[in-house]
Structure 1
């Protein structure tokens, strides 16, 4: 019985090239650390780095505000009035809410 002859390019008849192609396909699609998952994880890392930078800036601003409040009683009073609507006994507070069109 004669085996059928498959017309393959000469490069694919080479067992080393063929094994290299199979290895490449395996690593690209089927491996635990395939390229698709690595690209998704890299995108997620970039997103988390941006969030980290945002929160670092926010922490720095809050620390600056906290040190300002600790340094002077006037700024503490201003903060309490603005954020928590606190008032003295003989004062009235009017809250004005601007309506956006």
Structure 2
């Protein structure tokens, strides 16, 4: 059995001030509403939200660029031809697909 009087590691805890200081530090680090653990969790959440904000800002810039391209007559015609395979009257369109550009089960 450990004897409190003779143990050199427990000797500082005989002082009430040290004991109260240790209890206060443990309380503030782990149990308080403004504890270090909660601050760490909130900082991680802030970092994740800032990364998400940057992602959406990049997407907005990309979409604005696409809108600018589609606002011109040539850009709109190009989009209609490439995506919806539209054509003008008296025009024949040949779609050439290469083997490596086709979607198969292997390269999905």
Q: Shared topology, TM-score over 0.5?
A: yes
Tell me what 1:98 maps to. Answer: 102
Tell me what 2:14 maps to. Answer: 13
Classify 1:74/1:19 alpha carbon distance in 2 versus 1 (closer, same or farther; 3 Å).
same
Tell me what 1:81 maps to. Answer: 81
Q: 3-state DSSP class of the match of 2:33?
A: coil
TM-score (norm 2): 0.67
Deviation at 1:91, TM superposition (A): 5.4
User: What does 1:37-76 correspond to in 2, within 5 Å?
Assistant: 37-70=38-71, 72-76=72-76
TM-score (norm 1): 0.70
For structure 1, the 5+ residue unaligned runs are: none
For structure 2, the 5+ residue unaligned runs are: none
- The separation in 1 between residues aligned to 2:16 and 2:67, in whole angstroms, is 69
Indicate the RMSD between aligned Cα atoms, in angstroms. Answer: 2.6
Q: Deviations over 1:13-66 (max 9, x none)?
A: 333222221111111221122222221221121111111111111111111221
